[in-house]
Amino acid sequence: MITASPHFAQPARWQQLWREAISDPHELLKMLGLSHLQQTLLSTPTNQFPLRVPRGFVARMRYGDATDPLLLQVLPQAAELLELPGFTRDAVGDLASRSAHGLLHKYQGRALLIATGSCAIHCRYCFRQHFPYAEETAAANRWHEAVEHLRADDSISEVLLSGGDPLSLATPKLAESTAALATIPHIRRLRIHTRLPIVLPERVDAELLSWLTRLHVQCVIVLHANHANEIDESVAAACARLRDAGVTLLNQSVLLRGINDSADALAALSERLIECGVLPYYLHQLDRVFGTAHFEVDDVRALAIIDELRVRLSGYLVPKLVREVASAPYKLPLHDSRI
């Protein structure tokens, strides 16, 4: 994964905050009063997926709590080095479904563009941490090729921007890249998969909102929050700004052991999301990617948690529990064995 921050002529406030993100695990532990945990850290200097976490996100972590659900999402731990059977480097078959550089056309009707490899935060469970972004980034001059593929296939009505985090591109670059989509009549929706409004809500600035408001197609943003504590007032305000710009907001989460693997945690997340006008969409079973085994929750427990959520919450607040299977035509729902 590319970890350098984007280049900006005149950095906006969010770009400044991006640059000030914490990248030293020792500094992070010290800020949280947890320096005694240093020996559990991952200590490989050649690690290609280093710590990265914006200071505003760190501020939402609990001081002195080694089990904080936000901290555990970003702290590089020695457990990542465990070689376990079944955990590979391309667990979701991305490499097989590539149809033009940076374009993944795996499902009918929608195609996903890898807009950039950069992220404001590095999530330790991320299935894309081993993806060869350097070659596969649509923004890196291969955009034209991807757009021509979209133009030629009128079965595609929705374009997904993903990554990495597509909102890590500066807004003028986003606008420039998506302008070509306006010339393709069969593209009716733009969907953006992003964690930035959660981890760096300052990204939702006037410039971004102005671009979103002027889009010629309907826009859906799929946020990515895993725990209610991630959504403080600044995130709630960012969601309100996005909704005011006419954007439909959904959220996807990953089910993570020790972080959100309880009905209490997920119910609190759904309640917090709907307060912000965001509907829960997917709850993903972890992709079995090398270095993430310590986050895995088994299917029986996952289904039991969802069952409890169904009892406790309005139906629309229960996310769909799914797993991505390389050859499947959609993200497969996990089924209750009683049906």
Question: Which residue numbers belong to the known binding site for [4Fe-4S] cluster?
Answer: 119, 123, 126
Annotate 315-335 with DSSP letters as a single string. GGGS-EEEE--TT-SSPEEP-
Residue 65 CB, nearest distance to ligand PLP (Å)?
33
Q: Which does 164 bind (CB under 5 to 8 A by kind): ligand SF4, ligand PLP, none?
A: ligand SF4
Segment contacting ligand PLP by CB under 6 A, of 38-46, 107-115, 163-171, 199-207: 107-115
| Residues of span 224-253 touching ligand PLP by CB under 6 A | none
Q: Give the C-alpha separation, 22 to 202, whole Å.
A: 17
Q: Does 227 participate in binding ligand SF4 (rule CB under 6 A)? A: no
Work out whether 330 is an interface residue with ligand PLP (CB under 6 A): yes
Q: CB-wise, 122 or 284, nearer to ligand PLP? A: 284
What phi, psi does 128 have (nearest 5°)?
Answer: -95, 5
- Residue 29 binding partner per list ligand PLP, ligand SF4, none, with a CB distance cut-off of 5 to 8 Å that depends on partner kind: none
Nearer to ligand PLP, 25 or 164 (CB): 164
> Does 331 sit near ligand PLP (CB under 6 A)?
yes
Question: Least distance from C-beta 328 to ligand PLP, angstroms?
Answer: 10
Number of H helices and number of E strands within the chain?
12, 10
Binding status of residue 289 toward ligand PLP by CB under 6 A: no
The answer to whether residue 160 forms part of the interface with ligand PLP (CB under 6 A) is yes
Residue 112 binds ligand PLP (CB under 6 A):
yes
Angle separating helix axes 206-214 and 233-244, nearest 10 degrees: 30
Rg (CA), the chain: 19
d(CA 178, CA 187): 11
Please give the sequence-ordered ranges of beta strands (E in DSSP) within the chain, or none if there are none. Answer: 98-100, 103-107, 110-114, 158-162, 189-193, 218-224, 248-254, 279-284, 320-323, 332-333
Q: For ligand PLP, which is the closer residue by CB, 110 or 142? A: 110
What's the one-letter identity of residue 145? E
Residue 106 as a binder of ligand PLP (CB under 6 A): the answer is: yes
- For residues 181 and 209, the answer to whether their CB atoms sit within 8 Å is no
Give the nearest distance from C-beta 22 to ligand SF4 in angstroms.
15
Residue type at 250 in one-letter notation: L
Q: Which among 240, 247, 239, 245 has a CA at the least distance from the CA of 221?
A: 247
137-196: which residues touch ligand SF4 (CB under 6 A)?
163-165, 195
69 in contact with ligand SF4 (CB under 6 A)? no
Site track for ligand SF4 across 97-126, x = CB under 6 A: ----------------------x-xxx--x
Q: Which is nearer to ligand SF4, 123 or 245 (CB)?
A: 123
Q: Which helix (H) or strand (E) holds 263?
A: helix 263-275
Q: CA separation (Å) from 71 to 77, 100, 179?
A: 11, 37, 38
Q: Which among 247, 148, 273, 133 has a CA at the least distance from the CA of 191?
A: 247
Q: Which does 106 bind (CB under 5 to 8 A by kind): ligand SF4, ligand PLP, none?
A: ligand PLP
Contacting residues toward ligand SF4, per CB under 6 A: 119, 121-123, 126, 128, 163-165, 195, 224
Contacting residues toward ligand PLP, per CB under 6 A: 104, 106-107, 110, 112, 160, 330-331
